[in-house]
Structures are given as structure tokens and as C-alpha cells.
Amino acid sequence: MDGGPSVPTIVFHGDRDTTVHPNNGDRIVEQAAKAARAKAKVIDGRVRDGHAYTRTILIDAGGRVVSEQWNVHGAGHAWSGGSPAGSYTDPRGPDATREMLRFFLDHSLPR
């Protein structure tokens, strides 16, 4: 690594995905945590009438968010929060599109 700023990462994954193993997301976050010597903040939640989730936010020593991982409990291989009319979507959320937009707007790199 060149010592420059790391790229903030967000990972969404269903813990019942049988196509892409949920450990893949865990490994990405573990690598980011080691590289940044980050501390974890864990938030448990539930979408109203939908899935429960665990959101793990990794924060480096400078207070910057390194990564955010959403583990969606009971979700399979689908886009979380997608339209019920779509294929490979899970309308029971959380809304991955909304959360990714929030994340990247909040954690964009300086120019």
C-alpha cells in the first residue's frame, strides 16, 4: 500500500445465501480491519415487517469509517430491499440501494 487514503467499503450479504458464501463478506471486512487497525461498532436492527440485520462499522484510529458490513439475517442470494416485481430481489430489506448511496455520499474520498 502507498500510504494514501483507503477506499471505504460497504458489504451487504444475506446469511442464508447458498450461491455466494456469507464468509466472503466477512473476509473482506477482516482484511480491512487488520490493514487499518480498526475498531468495530456493531448495531443490530430490524426492518419493519422485514429482516433483522447486524451492521458492523469499522473505524480507524483517525475516526474515519473504513468499512460497513450489513449481515441480513434470513436473506438468501438476492438484492436486499429490491422490488417484489424483480428477479433475485428481497423486498423485506433492508434497502441496500438507499444504504449504499448514504454510505458513499457520507464517506467519499477528498479530491
Distance of CA 77 to the CA centre of its chain: 15
pLDDT, residue 106, reads: 93
pLDDT at residue 5 tops 90:
no
Give residue-wise pLDDT tens across range 18-46.
999 989 988 888 887 887 888 999 999 99
Tell me the CA distances in angstroms from 100 to 1, 9, 18, 35, 105, one per residue in order. Answer: 25, 10, 23, 22, 8
The three three-digit cell numbers of residue 105, written as one number: 455520499
The pTM assigned to this predicted structure is 0.88
Q: Report pLDDT for 1.
A: 43
Q: Over the stretch 62-74, which tens digit does the pLDDT of each residue have?
A: 999 989 999 999 9
- For 2, which DSSP code? -
List the chain domain ranges. 9-106
